[in-house]
Structure 1
């Protein structure tokens, strides 16, 4: 491709509508890549936090001590935050004499469910934007292509003798819009699918921990009730 038919030359010579579409798609691609790096780092951090907490939790640490240690931190997230939310509610409800093991278990589970929902919402941030870019960018690029080709043929109709050299630049600049649309869409779709799968896996891990921790607290409630009845 010579200098007269370079991508930059075709962009500068494009019509206002096609040029605007190209700039829009380039901006969407830049924002998408920014979110891809941000979400990738956030999900890796969440995965590592889950592994670290599960190792700590299942190591046999005392729940009261574990809760006291975790509440000293300012940036709780993931399973640690779910654990603290559930254990805090468990301790609060146990202080109420009228609370049965079933009501304690229900209240604890509800508190953990709210905490988990907030964590999943945080993990899913920016994913809708990636899905939107991935789904509409090819169509926006196609719109630029159709507009550019239409403009080229309108200009071609105003001359007596049409040549390939006359119509080629207009068609080339129009096709660039489609190429940019695909360039923006493909990474966004791949990232969205990959991140959605990771979020689902982390959410399942949160849910499994909730079930297991809720069962542990329920057994403790029943044991405490039996001790009180024996006295």
Structure 2
């Protein structure tokens, strides 16, 4: 019994703190940890930026819709929106009005051709706003799907090295085994820490983006109908 106590006392105690696990890890495992940590930081920056920009765009959309349906003339609203850079519904409105005014200045004779040009301008404006809304969301999806597997790679690599070192030293004492295995499992933990928020944020932000894109498309259809009625009235 005394001999076993002596062996246990002589066995080195592994530092199982976060910093200790990181510094004791293999260079490959360290690279995996640092890569996942950088990905997690970038994911959180995207999450914060998108949350703020989506909230701002929703407020701008609500403001614009109230003004648009208040009865104000399209020309006055166009002058107001054209003076300042706008996004969302304002950008779609300004793009359509520019084409409308350009066609009238050139005395476009074809009602059908003018309507087709307006529809194309609206589609392009919606595509541009959609690209802005969905920008960087793909990175969240990539980290959410690949993060756990990257962490698992670091874990497998670390466990392989741990068992190789254990076999070379012929020492199976728990204190010797626990440290290397904990270092390896720490990589999977970091992978999950990076992936879980990324998946949740991607689902939430992509849903919000889809709703705003739907509002853009709905407004474009309504505005196209309004312009179409005015075109018909002027062509009579």
Structure 1 segments, 4+ long, off by >4 Å, are none
2:169 is the alignment partner of 1:150: no
Contact 1:29 1:184 in 2 (8 A): yes
Contact 1:14 1:173 in 2 (8 A): yes
Q: How far is 1:101 from its partner?
A: 2.3
Q: How far is 1:132 from its partner?
A: 1.1
Q: How far is 1:98 from its partner?
A: 4.6
CA offsets 1:23-59 (integer angstroms, 9 cap, x no match) = 1111111111111101111111111111111111011
2:25 is the alignment partner of 1:14: yes
In the other structure, the counterpart of 2:16 is: 5
Q: Among residues 82, 85, 88, which one is paired with 1:71 in the alignment?
A: 82
CA separation in 2, counterparts of 1:170 and 1:103? 71
Q: Among residues 24, 30, 38, which one is paired with 1:27 in the alignment?
A: 38
Alignment of 1:182-197 (within 5 A): 182-197=192-207
In the other structure, the counterpart of 1:229 is: none
Q: What is the CA RMSD across the aligned residues, in angstroms?
A: 1.4
CA separation in 1, counterparts of 2:161 and 2:108? 78
2:197 is the alignment partner of 1:225: no
CA separation in 2, counterparts of 1:123 and 1:60? 29
TM-score (normalised: structure 1): 0.93
CA separation in 2, counterparts of 1:60 and 1:192? 38
TM-score (normalised: structure 2): 0.91
2:147 is the alignment partner of 1:137: yes
CA separation in 2, counterparts of 1:22 and 1:191? 21
Q: How many residues align?
A: 224
In the other structure, the counterpart of 2:213 is: 203
Q: How far is 1:70 from its partner?
A: 1.2
Q: How far is 1:213 from its partner?
A: 0.4
In the other structure, the counterpart of 1:121 is: 131
Q: Among residues 42, 47, 51, which one is paired with 1:40 in the alignment?
A: 51
Contact 1:102 1:218 in 2 (8 A): no
Structure 2: gaps of 5 or more residues: 1-12
In the other structure, the counterpart of 1:171 is: 181
Kindly tell me: are residues 223 and 27 of structure 1, through their superposed partners in 2, closer, same or farther at Cα, counting changes over 3 Å?
Answer: same
Equivalent position SS for 1:130: helix
